Structure 1
Amino acid sequence: MQPEPHTVESYQAAVLRLVTALPAETVLLDEALGRTTAAAVHARLPVPAFDNAAMDGFAVRAADVAAASRERPAVLRRLQPTRAGSPRPRALRGGEAVPIMTGAPVPPGADLVVPIELTTSGSFDDAATVALWPGAKPNIRRRGEDVAADAIVLPGASVLGPRDLALLAATGRSSVRVHRRPRVAVIATGDELTPADADAGVPDSNSVYLCAAVRSLRGEIASTQVARDDESALRRALDEAARDADLIISTGGVGPGTHDLAGRFAAGAPDGMLARVAMRPGRPQAHGRWNGTPWLALPGNPTAAFVSFEAFARPALIRLAGGEGHSGLAAETISVGCAGRPGSVRFVPLDVGRDADSVSVAPLGSPGRAAHSLSAMFRAPLIAMIGAETADVEPGQLVPVIAPA
């Protein structure tokens, strides 16, 4: 009697036990996009870095204009103007006003910026004096009021996006400590595999997909190989892959067939397991360590390899890169239902339609034949993960979805 299959969650947990975050390194911001911070990042400089004007106007001492009004403006001596990038001006004395542009440093002693609109001339002219009156706000952005010096601007395990990099630059950082990129070796197994432009055999689409998916997660490809259904060939491929990789991902050879070698090799390896997982497609899975390198052996069917990467390899890569090791799930309301049987998680390709008034989310292709519907699975903008306890999905039902690479 065969043991009960693993759930997707329990098998994912077993896979994640194989991997830990890679060592950290310091990189320039230009090289940090998509990388994961190795520790909390602190601001080197405050934001703003100095007191500066929030609008164009005149920097003055509030006491000099406290009694002024539109009808009885204060008349102050005009000094040389200052603008963004100007050296810090001298301290302001009583009875003086400095023409100031947005972002320019506020002179010491000034505690108010009067907008240009609250002057009798309404412009920056060359007169020796200016007549003005105060508004309701001081119009000064104070040093550090947005981000204090040494404040934490990003926690550890943050995946750096464009805005994060801009924030680091704005707080005075030109580099950041991040985890090293995972290096992945890809092996496709099977005597039937041929290059995509061959006229016979089965095109090796798995290698193309896996390499692109790894790169989309900011990983690096250490090597790519095709191994025939031969024990010596597979051992050589695994030995070579393990020499320069943080993770090996193979496809094919995890079923019960006589030529399915990868599953047997993985099961006999340290921390090895040949498993059945309650999911469709992607039921057969295997993993282990080859010469110390974590190895995920995925099914060879292209759609099964695809969903297996999303369910198991993506979280492993996220953890290697320093993240928490969980793929991001969202939820969508299904517009058109689909029939199914409970007992396994079903990965169903979804199409998203938009018109002027609404958005519809519906199964793409034939959901009952998802394991063979390569074109639907690879074209779908979303993939539903229908829970093992769910039979038919009804219109209006909320289901978990992933947005694949």
Structure 2
Amino acid sequence: MESGLRSVTEHVQRVLALVGPLPVVSLDLTDADGAVLAEDLHARVAVPPFDSAAMDGYAVRLADLPADGAPVTLQVTGDVAAGSGSGAGIGPGQAVRIMTGAPLPPGADAVIPVEHTSTGRFVAGAAREEGSVTLARRPRPHVRAAGEDVGRGELLARAGSEVTAAAVGALTASGTMRVAVRRRPLVAVISTGSELVPVGGVLGPGQITDSNGPMLAAAARTAGADVVRLGPVSDDAAALRAALDAASVGGTDLIVTAGGVSAGAADVVREVLAASGPEAGGVSDADVASVAMSPGKPQALARWRGVPWLALPGNPVGAYASFELFARPAIDRLRGLGGAAEGLPGQARNAERALLPLRYPLGHAHRSLRAATAWSSPAGRLQVLPVRWVDGGVEPAGSHHSLSALAAADALALVPPDVEKVRAGDVVQVLMLR
């Protein structure tokens, strides 16, 4: 690692030290998608709650069907539809028409699919006409036993996991109506720079449209936060303090700024962070650092009126990379997501080689892929490079400082500080973006 620079691992640890899991709230399960559970959830009822038909067909007694597969003719004595009772049951030599999901009649222990019987198929809306049916034993009984999917009391979801659409289905089916989850974080995003013009504004000489603010706001929403966006703010300390004051009210849990944190004469974030005495305003715990990554070397941490503040660089690709490596883990911890709720998981100790555990305790968005082409990497710094899919692996999506490369990227390659040359065929670690 380059001398005098802070490691990515250490900076993540300092970021996570600023935040903690948010308070627990109770929500209707149908309103909790995307929230993070604060408790383990167990099935209140079995799924299915009764023995049921897995196919449309005829409920029968296996005792009536020869083991050698010879066909028999049974008397059809009734119908059982999904959502109805199980009927009076069946006796020797009898069968009952039954539809998928309907409760198995007493006495039945198998269902013969209608397409494997003399009936052939059922006609929707038509009344039963057959008085008998010819059929034979099948390899499977086509019965879903009570509790076959989920047993009563079975663990369905752990605290620290996200409520997904699939989880909503399983939990609803097993009797859960309300869940205890962490409150959704509120993140304030502020872009800085006198050269920035709001989206849709008229550009003057030397001005550009603010892209960092909308980009980071979108990233924060994707990470599971609610967002308020301020700015762009000019390179003026008083203007930035006013914006920080506005951002720190209303229950804000995290402030993320972009720009003004490098070593330039007009870098207003550094000016505000360096203030002391009455001029310090609401700043505390200021921590300005050069982190061993490229892009994204200039970083800062602080609290503004008690609200955690992450100051990211103004280079758009550096800002996005910094969000993924630092701001997203902070949001994960605020949400109580997985291992982020308790701190760094053990495999994050060598984060320069595999950063996935910082953001994804379960590794669901991290992969090891092969480089399809060669590229260089800065010595002593973790390279965070936008890459895209090609046959045989990944390749740079364009210039590592280019927004167009970021937009075209499928992933961010993470090249360790001790690697100066990635060769075609080398295995690289990536964080998935798509």
In structure 1, C-alpha distance between the alignment counterparts of 2:3 and 2:231, rounded to whole Å: 33
Q: Counterpart amino acid of 1:163?
A: A
- 2:171 pairs, out of 168, 173, 176, with 168
**Which has the larger displacement, 156-165 or 310-319?**
156-165
Please name the residue that 2:180 is paired with: 177
Structure 2 vs 1, CA of residues 321 and 194 (structure 1 numbering), >3 Å: closer, same or farther? same
Give the Å deviation of 1:130: 4.0
Structure 2 vs 1, CA of residues 96 and 291 (structure 1 numbering), >3 Å: closer, same or farther? same
Please name the residue that 2:300 is paired with: 286
Give the Å deviation of 1:64: 4.0
Give the Å deviation of 1:230: 2.5
Structure 1 segment 1-400 matched on structure 2, within 5 A: 4-65=4-65, 70=70, 73=72, 75-116=73-114, 119=117, 126-196=129-199, 197-200=201-204, 201-244=207-250, 245-266=252-273, 269-323=283-337, 324-325=339-340, 326-328=358-360, 329-353=366-390, 358-366=391-399, 370-371=400-401, 373-400=402-429
Structure 2 vs 1, CA of residues 341 and 118 (structure 1 numbering), >3 Å: closer, same or farther? closer
**Which has the larger displacement, 157-166 or 7-16?**
157-166
- Give TM-score, length-normalised by structure 2: 0.83
Q: Counterpart amino acid of 1:147?
A: V
* 1:49 alignment partner, SS class: coil
* 1:271 alignment partner, SS class: strand
- Shift >6 Å, 4+ stretches: none
Q: Counterpart amino acid of 1:333?
A: R
In structure 2, C-alpha distance between the alignment counterparts of 1:68 and 1:378, rounded to whole Å: 64
**Which has the larger displacement, 61-70 or 297-306?**
61-70
In structure 1, stretches of 5+ residues that fail to align are: none
In structure 2, C-alpha distance between the alignment counterparts of 1:307 and 1:330, rounded to whole Å: 17
Q: Quick check: 2:38–2:159 contact (8 Å CA) kept in 1? A: yes
Structure 2 vs 1, CA of residues 120 and 195 (structure 1 numbering), >3 Å: closer, same or farther? closer
In structure 2, C-alpha distance between the alignment counterparts of 1:165 and 1:214, rounded to whole Å: 23
- Give TM-score, length-normalised by structure 1: 0.88
- Percent identity, aligned pairs only? 39
**Which has the larger displacement, 85-94 or 141-150?**
85-94
Give the Å deviation of 1:296: 0.3
In structure 2, C-alpha distance between the alignment counterparts of 1:208 and 1:168, rounded to whole Å: 35
Please, what is the CA RMSD of the aligned residues? 2.6
Give the Å deviation of 1:251: 1.3
Give the Å deviation of 1:248: 0.3
Q: Counterpart amino acid of 2:208?
A: V
* 1:272 alignment partner, SS class: strand
Q: Quick check: 1:19–1:320 contact (8 Å CA) kept in 2? A: yes
* 1:270 alignment partner, SS class: strand
